[in-house]
Structure 1
């Protein structure tokens, strides 16, 4: 069964630069290579259109060294 993408917004603490933003994008794309990911380092927010579940994304980001909390999804 093919999953439909969801709109996911997360608060991600610990991002300080574009390198962090790229690390977050890569982490999410490991879960879903087709994910459309937008990162706002200044606001500490990540928006993604993805088939990955919010809990899986939060856990992957935590393992990457960030603190992630789902706001939607």
Structure 2
């Protein structure tokens, strides 16, 4: 998933359990960066995204949807 131009950010997120969670988290990140590539792994509780956004902006977008991001 990693490209040479866009860094990958991986977050551990609590509270994701279904397809709605995947859509909500993906939409939240893509609302800040429409070109972001987002992969949500419900089993691992991770969100990986290729984005130009800084980590704290991605974290804030996920938390605004009601999910807890682990440090």
TM-score by length of 2: 0.86
**CA RMSD for the aligned pairs?**
1.2
Structure 1, unmatched stretches of 5+, are none
1:39-50 superposed matches below 5 A: 39-50=40-51
Greater than 4 Å deviation, 4+ residue runs:
none
Structure 2, unmatched stretches of 5+, are none
**1:52 alignment partner in structure 2:** 53
CA deviations 1:25-70 (Å, max 9, x no partner) are: 0001011100111000111001110001110111111111001246
**1:66 alignment partner in structure 2:** 67
